[in-house]
Structure 1
Amino acid sequence: MDKNKKITVFSHLLVWIVLVSMPYMLSASTQQLNINRVVAHFWIPLGFYAVIFYFNYFVLIDRYLFVEKTLKFIAFNCLIIALFVFLKELIESTFFEELSRNFQVDKKNQGPPIRMFIYIQSISYMAPLLFAIAIKSTKRWVKIEAERKDAANVKLQSELQHLHYQLQPHFFFNSLNNIYSLVDVMPEQAKTSIHGLGKLMRYMLYETNMELVPLSKEIDFMKKYTDLMKLRVSDKTVVNYKFPSTDFGIKIAPLLFISLVENAFKHGVAANKESSIDINMTCENKTVFFTIENDNLPKKTNDKSGSGIGLQNLEKRLQLLYPKKHIFKTAIQDNRFKVTLQIETD
């Protein structure tokens, strides 16, 4: 028996022990107690309450109420309550004749009619029934809510995994395009680029499968990628980057920033124009601030390199990984494209 079941059993036993002991706890002296009266008017109804509660809790609610067989559920409980009202009267008249006789005398002299007492007894038997429904419904709701959260978490992980796998070929495709452009004109730089790409792909394949990675590794990855991309751009392009010297113990979802760096090199560089790319990252109180600026030199519509999924992928991942904990903005000002990304990591 696991810990939760043990706690449940102990709680039930404690409740029933308290209920059985109520006459003794409420009486000023045990000598004043009439044991026959306690048995007839308290313990026997209490036993009926227990039967109604547990029979509904373990059988009727699951079998009828939760499967929308409400009429059968009501009919069964009406029969059970009627049976217990009859049994209580039968037991009292058979085994507690004196109490029953005094009761009948009291009713003739001054009390309300017997039907009123039967009605009150019937109503009292509904208390354990309603209590069983309340507890069972609450447990069912908690279970359904937990299953819903588990299902949502599985869906979230599936979507994130899909986006992660989508990002890798996208990154690889863009990098190969860049290296391809170097093969004929700068074969030595192309070799260096292939070697550098191998290191980057090793990181992507073997170190980014975790939910969180140290920010320092992401910074190192971006530096290597930026240095790799600088090999293929002309002297007319200036690339500046500034990263924090320490990551302040911050862990972050992998590969969030690389799409922005890729986008800057893809849309901010032209062979025959002067341009610049400025990358800046700072950290403060477990919050990462990242900005990147580049000249706005969009590719022609017939240029399909990379298929344009990088920023869309990033936005989806941010919504899934950091809901209400991120700010992502893009803007074009003075023919410069600027991206601002702020992430609260904890």
Structure 2
Amino acid sequence: MYKNKTITALLHLLVWLTLFSLPYLLSYGQEQELDRVKAHFWIPLVFSVIIFYFNYFVLVDRFLFPKKMLQFIVINAAMIAFFLFLKEYIEDNFFQEIIKKRLENTNRTAPPFKMAIYIQVLSYMAPLLFSIALKTTKRWNKTEAERKEAMHVKLKSELQHLHYQLQPHFFFNSLNNIYSLVDISPDQAKSSIHSLSKLMRYMLYETNLEVVPLTKEIDFLKKYIDLMKLRVSDKTSVSYSFPVKETGIQIAPLLFISLIENAFKHGVSATKTSNIDINMTCDSNTVLFSVENNNFPKKTDDKSGSGIGLQNLEKRLELLYPDKFSFKTIIKNDRFLVTLEIEIN
């Protein structure tokens, strides 16, 4: 901030120095009468400096932005009128030679008095309008920065809320699965609890970052699939394929888990054969994930799980990867296929 203020001050100084040097820059190689430059250029320019900065630092904020237009116009009109009178007074009392020459040339080259006043008023209006333009632009930039910051805070807050919402949902579903094993296979239930503790450790301590390595996310998904396979019967076949090599891809955590949960919730039957196929492929900047399973719709009175997983996923994708993802679901021949494609960077 200090550096920006210094640069701004230097730019202002450079602009005014350039303006004060204009009489000599525009008449390079020609002699300039110093008194004439002072009377007709430097003194009005000093008045312009005063008008500019008085408006920039005081009047625009105090009167224009709060929409006190009448006071703003009256003060500026009075200030311009005062400077017009003061300029004439200074010329009459300190630059008599300039006045004599002006009188000698009045009938030949000097513009009419009203025209001269009109030109001077316009010259004082320029710094006034420029100060308004700069101040308005500065205010708009500040407002836009604040709006973007507010949106960023809101985005982070909403993502955090969705993240916290996902954790108990995941834990609830996993406990339901383990509960079903307690009476059937106590040893498998113990193993499942141990596996669940590892998964929860990942969710609690390693997913608070905005992105995680895709390899870590894949490892988490494999452990979860192996955990879920413990509760399904021999009538259910589960297969999965993930990239083996290090991809170097960084991705938002816990985007795919809901799709796998959904497959085990709706794609498994206690009496019918079924199979779940999970596949992930990726290149340098795209991840394609698909899950295909049998479709066994839940009964309307089945309240196991809240159905929040896929809704949560779509909201997170819209926030994290706007216009950079494709999420499709298809039901065909009693098979449910979901594909998620995400463009990274």
Question: Residue 10 of structure 1 corresponds to which residue in structure 2?
Answer: 10
Q: Distance in 2 between matches of 1:275 and 1:219?
A: 24
State how 1:312-327 maps to structure 2 within 5 Å.
312-327=311-326
How far the C-alpha of 1:213 sits from its partner, in A, is 0.2
Question: Residue 227 of structure 1 corresponds to which residue in structure 2?
Answer: 226
SS in 2 for 1:107: coil
Question: Residue 174 of structure 2 corresponds to which residue in structure 1?
Answer: 175
SS in 2 for 1:98: helix
How far the C-alpha of 1:296 sits from its partner, in A, is 0.6
Contact 2:155 2:319 in 1 (8 A): yes
1:204 aligns with 2:203: yes
What letter corresponds to residue 12 of structure 1 in structure 2?
Answer: H
Q: Tell me, which stretches of 5 or more residues in structure 2 are unaligned? A: none
1:187 aligns with 2:169: no
Question: Residue 288 of structure 1 corresponds to which residue in structure 2?
Answer: 287
Question: Residue 22 of structure 2 corresponds to which residue in structure 1?
Answer: 22
How far the C-alpha of 1:345 sits from its partner, in A, is 1.2
Question: Residue 302 of structure 2 corresponds to which residue in structure 1?
Answer: 303
- TM-score, length-normalised on structure 2? 0.98
Q: Distance in 2 between matches of 1:268 and 1:104?
A: 102
SS in 1 for 2:303: coil
- TM-score, length-normalised on structure 1? 0.98
1:277 aligns with 2:254: no
SS in 2 for 1:339: strand
Q: Distance in 2 between matches of 1:250 and 1:110?
A: 77
State the identity as a percent.
68
Q: Distance in 2 between matches of 1:97 and 1:247?
A: 87
Aligned residues: 345
Question: Residue 248 of structure 2 corresponds to which residue in structure 1?
Answer: 249
How far the C-alpha of 1:115 sits from its partner, in A, is 1.4
Q: Distance in 1 between matches of 2:210 and 2:28?
A: 64
For 1:150-197, what per-residue CA distance to the aligned partner results, in whole angstroms no more than 9, with x for missing partners? 000000000000000000000000001111111111111111111100
Q: Distance in 1 between matches of 2:121 and 2:218?
A: 73
Q: Distance in 1 between matches of 2:109 and 2:281?
A: 87
Question: Residue 160 of structure 2 corresponds to which residue in structure 1?
Answer: 161
Q: Distance in 2 between matches of 1:92 and 1:271?
A: 104
SS in 1 for 2:208: coil
How far the C-alpha of 1:107 sits from its partner, in A, is 2.9
Of residues 299-308 and 324-333 in structure 1, the stretch that sits farther from structure 2 once superposed is 299-308
How far the C-alpha of 1:110 sits from its partner, in A, is 5.3
- Residues 283 and 337 of structure 1: CA distance in aligned 2, closer, same or farther (over 3 Å): same
1:344 aligns with 2:343: yes
